[in-house]
């Protein structure tokens, strides 16, 4: 039986009932996190915790027990007997249940907290030879830095991409590449690793942060400077990053090959260093 967390209690997953007036249900008024369990340890749960706090603060959602995030996550892994398996913990906080109104409930109601742990197969498995990505005009809102549960543009575009055989949909805003539907994206141009700077146009990925660190440790020059669509022809390597897939090589942007259309050497080097950083969390 799967055990999940709901409003202070660990319950059988199928016994959880969420109010139809929950603002997450009515307005997508909430935030989430996905943290990865590597057969025995979480990878940078502190980073995910800090991002959750920030998302809550930006949306003015108050959760009095936000310090308990890592404890709940670990308990879910243990209670579901996932200690020695690869797993993901999904964690969601919404503003809570209140009669439908465009203003926030006043006084505030208790937020709804929901979390579950699941065994998973890394999204990158079988993709060692790289993926092709689809490019799409950015159609998301102006605060992509908040890990909001309002993901319709993301799911719409990713589904379209998957149906056409692409491994990710990458958004293009005013000619510049921002990020993927559920990943950040990196490019190698003239030996320099480039990615969109942290801003309201992208989510500050935890994997992105460690990838930048890994590249610098490899002695690779990194520039947080957006890449323009027109520069894609000069790209020698590219890859996407996220919690569930770590680093996945990108070998084409639609009909444009990335470099020679094969995963590149710097990508391999950076991924190797990234794995070392992941393993360092096992010893903390
Ligand atoms: N998504 N950008 C977007 C829009 C994302 O949704 C994600 C992660 C990332 C990468 O963030 P991180 O490295 O912290 O996972 C970037 C998760 C995996 C999801 O929605 O399932």
The residue whose C-alpha atom lies closest to atom 1 belonging to ligand 1 is 182
Whether CATH 3.20.10.10 fits 131-283: yes
Closest by CA to 28, choosing from 61, 77, 75, is: 61
What is the DSSP track for 195-252?
EPPSSTTS---HHHHHHHHHHHHTT--EEE-PPBGGGGGGEEEEEEEETTTEEEEEEE
pTM, to two decimals: 0.97
Instruction: Judge residue 238's burial from the number of C-beta atoms within 10 Å of its C-beta, 0-12 exposed, 13-18 middle, 19 or more buried.
Output: buried
CB of 92 within 6 A of ligand 1: the answer is no
Q: What is the pLDDT of residues 32-85, one digit of tens each?
A: 999 999 999 999 999 999 999 999 999 999 999 999 999 999 999 999 999 999
First-residue to last-residue Cα distance in the chain: 31
Token pair recorded at residue 227: 């890449």
Query: What is the set of active-site residues?
Result: 147
The residue whose C-alpha atom lies closest to atom 8 belonging to ligand 1 is 182
CB of 243 within 6 A of ligand 1: the answer is yes
| Closest ligand 1 atom to Cα of 209 | 13
CA–centroid distance, 147 to ligand 1, in Å, is 8
| Closest ligand 1 atom to Cα of 90 | 21
| DSSP H or E segment with residue 178 | strand 176-180
DSSP summary character for residue 281: G
pLDDT of residue 126: 82
Q: What is the pLDDT of residues 4-30, one digit of tens each?
A: 999 999 999 999 999 999 999 999 999
The residue whose C-alpha atom lies closest to atom 12 belonging to ligand 1 is 205
CA–centroid distance, 104 to ligand 1, in Å, is 27
CB of 206 within 6 A of ligand 1: the answer is yes
Q: 86-94 and 30-38 as β-strands: parallel, antiparallel, unpaired? A: antiparallel
| Inter-residue long-range contacts of 151-158, CB under 8 Å, 24+ positions, other chains counted | 151/28, 152/28, 153/181, 154/181, 154/182, 155/181, 157/181, 158/182
Q: What is the pLDDT of residues 91-114, one digit of tens each?
A: 999 999 999 999 999 999 999 999
| Closest ligand 1 atom to Cα of 144 | 4
CB of 36 within 6 A of ligand 1: the answer is no
CA–centroid distance, 131 to ligand 1, in Å, is 17
Alpha helix positions (H), the chain: 23-27, 45-58, 69-79, 152-163, 206-217, 265-280
CB of 150 within 6 A of ligand 1: the answer is no
CATH of 3-119, one of 3.40.50.1390, 1.10.10.10, 3.50.50.60, 3.30.470.10: 3.30.470.10
CB of 48 within 6 A of ligand 1: the answer is no
Q: Looking at the predicted structure, is the pLDDT value of residue 245 above 80?
A: yes
Q: Locate the domains of the chain by residue range.
A: 3-119, 131-283
CB of 241 within 6 A of ligand 1: the answer is yes
The residue whose C-alpha atom lies closest to atom 3 belonging to ligand 1 is 182
Percent of the chain's residues with pLDDT above 90:
96
Dist CA 14 CA 4 (whole Å): 9
CA–centroid distance, 206 to ligand 1, in Å, is 8
């Amino acid at each position: 039986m799967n055990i999940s967390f709901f409003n202070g209690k660990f319950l059988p997953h199928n016994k959880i009932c969420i109010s139809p007036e929950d603002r997450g249900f009515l307005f997508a008024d909430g935030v989430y996190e996905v943290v990865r369990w590597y057969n025995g340890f979480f990878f940078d749960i502190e980073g995910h915790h800090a991002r959750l706090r920030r998302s809550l603060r930006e949306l003015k959602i108050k959760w009095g027990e936000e310090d308990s995030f890592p404890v709940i996550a670990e308990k879910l892994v243990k209670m579901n007997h996932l200690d020695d398996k690869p797993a993901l913990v999904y964690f969601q906080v919404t503003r809570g249940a209140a009669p439908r109104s465009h203003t926030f409930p006043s006084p505030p109601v208790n937020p709804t907290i929901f979390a579950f742990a699941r065994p998973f197969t890394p999204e990158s498995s079988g993709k060692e030879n790289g993926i092709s990505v689809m490019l799409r005009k950015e159609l998301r809102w102006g605060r992509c830095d908040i890990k909001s549960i309002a993901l319709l543009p993301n799911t719409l575009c990713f589904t379209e991409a998957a149906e056409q055989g692409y491994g990710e949909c990458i958004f293009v805003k005013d000619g510049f590449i921002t990020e993927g539907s559920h990943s950040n994206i990196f490019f190698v141009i003239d030996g320099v690793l480039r990615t969109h700077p942290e801003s309201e146009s992208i989510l500050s990925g935890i994997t992105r942060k460690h990838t930048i660190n890994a590249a610098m440790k490899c002695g690779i020059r990194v520039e947080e400077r957006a890449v323009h669509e027109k520069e894609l022809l000069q790209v020698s390597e590219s890859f996407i990053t996220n919690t569930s897939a770590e680093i996945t090589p990108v070998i084409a942007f639609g009909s444009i090959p990335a470099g020679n259309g094969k995963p590149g050497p710097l990508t391999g080097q950076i991924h190797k260093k990234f794995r070392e950083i992941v393993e360092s969390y096992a010893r903390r």
